[in-house]
A and B are shown apart, each in its own frame.
Chain A
Amino acid sequence: QQPVQSPQAVILREGEDAVINCSSSKALYSVHWYRQKHGEAPVFLMILLKGGEQKGHEKISASFNEKKQQSSLYLTASQLSYSGTYFCGTEPQVSGGYNKLIFGAGTRLAVHP
């Protein structure tokens, strides 16, 4: 039931782009994306609702393919501050709609100068 994230790790040079994928075997209400830096709390980035929407947050955007139950997070022109672990949190439709998120194992992103 845990969503599958890929890749597990990414190493970038500043200014490069990356894509992180999240795939669920369950029909979803929504997909949340969070970033966690070492020793800190996960920080909310954005929510994608069913309906195939796409959202953006500065140079970070995401999409949700409802038919495939897949979401992708796009990081463009990466900055050093983007380093951290990215988690997708999914809410299966069978869970009742109360935001009981199931998180993937995370994608570790390291951006170097």
Chain B
Amino acid sequence: DTGVSQDPRHKITKRGQNVTFRCDPISEHNRLYWYRQTLGQGPEFLTYFQNEAQLEKSRLLSDRFSAERPKGSFSTLEIQRTEQGDSAMYLCASSLAGTTIPDNSPLHFGNGTRLTVT
């Protein structure tokens, strides 16, 4: 178990540029989540995947944000035309979800990618 890894750890970009982040979940985990965290706040849900299927996207997420999880392994989060308000820590988490509802498996978080938009 090598844990959830995220790349890059830090990204500084100019307003209007596109950025892409990568998340590698724990290998056997079938569910993957993206969260955003700003200073002094808890993580805010963005989207999640069950295997390769993106099952939900937060209504707070603008059309500039897109996420993929090809083949149900790693995931990428892309932000187009970045704005200063996008500056935050972007956290990825994975879990091994069972077949029961509700699913009560713990989330395993990565160390995040800190985005600064200048």
Q: What residues of chain A have their CB less than 8 Å away from a CB belonging to chain B?
A: 2, 29-30, 32, 34, 39-44, 47, 49, 87, 89, 91, 93, 96-106
Asked if A100 contacts B42 (CB within 8 A), the reply is no
User: How many residues of B are counted as interface, with CB atoms below 8 angstroms from the partner's CB atoms?
Assistant: 29
Asked if A44 contacts B107 (CB within 8 A), the reply is yes
Q: Contact partner of A42 among B43, B55, B102, CB < 8 A?
A: B43
With contacts defined as CB atoms under 8 Å apart, how many contacts are there between chain A and chain B in the complex? 77
Which partner residue on chain B sits nearest A103 by CB separation?
Answer: B42
Q: What residues of chain B have their CB less than 8 Å away from a CB belonging to chain A?
A: 4, 31, 33, 35, 40-45, 48, 50, 55-56, 91, 95, 97, 101-112
Contact A105 to B103, CB < 8 A, known contacts A41-B91, A44-B108, A99-B95: no
